[in-house]
Amino acid sequence: MSAEVFYGSMLRTERSIVENEAGRQEPSARTANNISNNRGQADAISFNETHGETIHRTAHELGHTLGFSHTHSRPDRDEHITIIRKNIRDDLLPEFNKSDIRTMNTYNLPYDYGSIMHYSAKSASKNNEIVMRPRPDDRYLQTIGSPMISFYDKLAVNLHYKCLEKCNEKYHKRCHNGGFANPNDCSRCVCPSGYGGKYCDERPDTGCGKTVYAKTWFQTLVDSVGRENYNPYDHNDEFIMCNYWIVAPTGSTIEVKLEGYSKDGYSDGCKDSGVEIKIGNDTRSTGYR
> What does 76-135 look like in DSSP terms, one character per residue?
TGGGTEEE-GGGB-GGGGGGGPPPPTTT---TTPPP-TT-TTSPPTTTTBSSSS-SEEES
- pLDDT band per the 50, 70, 90 thresholds, residue 177: very high
Of all residues in the chain, what percent carry a pLDDT higher than 90? Answer: 58
- pLDDT band per the 50, 70, 90 thresholds, residue 194: very high
Neighbour tally for 3: CB within 10 Å: 23
Comparing CA positions, the residue from 36, 118, 108, 115 lying closest to residue 83 is 118
Q: Higher pLDDT residue, 153 or 266? A: 153
In this predicted structure, the answer to whether residue 141 has a pLDDT above a threshold of 60 is yes
The domains of the chain are located at 3-65
Per-residue model confidence (pLDDT) at position 157:
94
In this predicted structure, the answer to whether residue 252 has a pLDDT above a threshold of 60 is yes
What average pLDDT does range 11-28 have in this prediction? Answer: 45
Per-residue model confidence (pLDDT) at position 202:
96
Per-residue model confidence (pLDDT) at position 263:
66
Regarding beta strands 245-247 and 211-213, do their DSSP bridges make them parallel or antiparallel, or are they unpaired? parallel
Q: Which residues are annotated as a binding site?
A: 60, 64, 70
Q: Which of 183-187, 204-208, 282-286 has the lowest mean pLDDT?
A: 204-208
pLDDT in tens, 94-131: 999 999 998 899 999 999 999 999 999 999 999 999 99
Q: Higher pLDDT residue, 187 or 229? A: 187
DSSP annotation of 140: G
Q: How many whole angstroms separate alpha carbon 2 and alpha carbon 58?
A: 11
pLDDT in tens, 221-246: 888 776 666 665 555 556 788 999 99
Per-residue model confidence (pLDDT) at position 274:
82
Per-residue model confidence (pLDDT) at position 259:
84
Regarding beta strands 132-134 and 81-83, do their DSSP bridges make them parallel or antiparallel, or are they unpaired? antiparallel
- pTM, two decimals, is 0.83
pLDDT in tens, 166-176: 999 999 999 99
**CA dist 273 → 204, 212, 241, 288 (Å):** 19, 22, 10, 13
Q: Are 286 and 193 a contacting pair, CB within 8 Å?
A: yes
The answer for 136, left when phi > 0, alpha when psi is -120 to 50, beta otherwise, is alpha
Mean pLDDT, the chain, as a whole number?
Answer: 82
Per-residue model confidence (pLDDT) at position 35:
42
Q: Which residues are annotated as a binding site for Zn(2+)?
A: 60, 64, 70
Per-residue model confidence (pLDDT) at position 125:
97
Q: Which of 20-24, 48-52, 171-175 has the lowest mean pLDDT?
A: 20-24
Per-residue model confidence (pLDDT) at position 269:
76
- Residues with active-site annotation: 61
